[in-house]
Amino acid sequence: MTPRLPSHPPQEASRVCKPGGRILLLEHGRAKYGWLNSILDRDAAKHKARWACNWNLDIEGIVRDAGLRIVSQSRWHFGTTYVIIAEPAAVPDRRQ
């Protein structure tokens, strides 16, 4: 499932992560190769209309924009599958 606002679920994960905890993400997005990203970009609207999935998102950017620090990452399937272990970049103020 691809969220409408891609950074929201990682932000929520960061917010609820226990102190010292980590977040495991398994996602698909932009590839390591320009030629493959061209194909993903070209067919993105058609793929989203059929499957409700944005397959060409910048996963690393979304994770960082959500306030997460990437601890480790591996990429598979020409770089389109991401396995990321992350943690909140800053300790949130949980008094709110």
pTM metric for this prediction? 0.78
Exposure pattern of 66-89 as b/e (b: 16+ CB <10 Å)?
A: bbbebeeeebeeebbebebebebe
Q: For the chain, what are the domain ranges?
A: 9-14+21-88
Q: What is the pLDDT of residues 12-31, one digit of tens each?
A: 888 889 999 999 999 999 99
Backbone angles phi, psi at 50, to 5 degrees: -80, -40
For 37-48, how does the pLDDT look when each residue is reduced to its tens digit (9 = 90+)?
A: 999 999 999 999
DSSP H or E segment with residue 40: helix 34-42
